[in-house]
Amino acid sequence: MSEPKIAARRPAVIELAAGRHAYCSCGQSAKQPFCDGAHAGSEFRPVVFEMAEAKTVAICQCKHTGNAPYCDGTHSRLP
């Protein structure tokens, strides 16, 4: 599998509404950290996740987290 593009080396800390969201896993989306379909034609697919209630979350933008879509600090260890 190809390596994703690093969109940023810090998480996006945002208030997310309850409901379904599509996280960009390729790093190409212009609507980071969310999918806009820029992965079309690649092996990447969005990570669809559900929020039961609105809350503030840290969404990974380095695209290397082990807990997608949430930041796990991996960005601090990237070269």
The Cα 6–Cα 65 span in angstroms is 11
The answer to whether the CB of 22 falls within 8 A of the CB of 60 is no
Q: In terms of pLDDT, which residue wins out, 1 or 24?
A: 24
Residue 2 lies in a domain: no
Residue 6 lies in a domain: no
For residue range 13-67, list pLDDT tens digits in order.
Answer: 999 999 999 999 999 999 999 999 999 999 999 999 999 999 999 999 999 999 9
The Cα 17–Cα 56 span in angstroms is 9
Is residue 1 predicted with pLDDT exceeding 90? no
Residue 52 lies in a domain: yes
Can you give the residue range of the structural domain that contains 55?
12-77
Q: Give the count of domains, the chain.
A: 1
Residue 27 lies in a domain: yes
Residue 45 lies in a domain: yes
The answer to whether the CB of 27 falls within 8 A of the CB of 75 is no
Task: Give the residue carrying structure tokens 């810090």.
Answer: 10
Is the pTM for the entire model greater than 0.85?
yes
Q: What is the mean pLDDT of residues 74-78?
A: 96
Residue 51 lies in a domain: yes
Residue 32 lies in a domain: yes
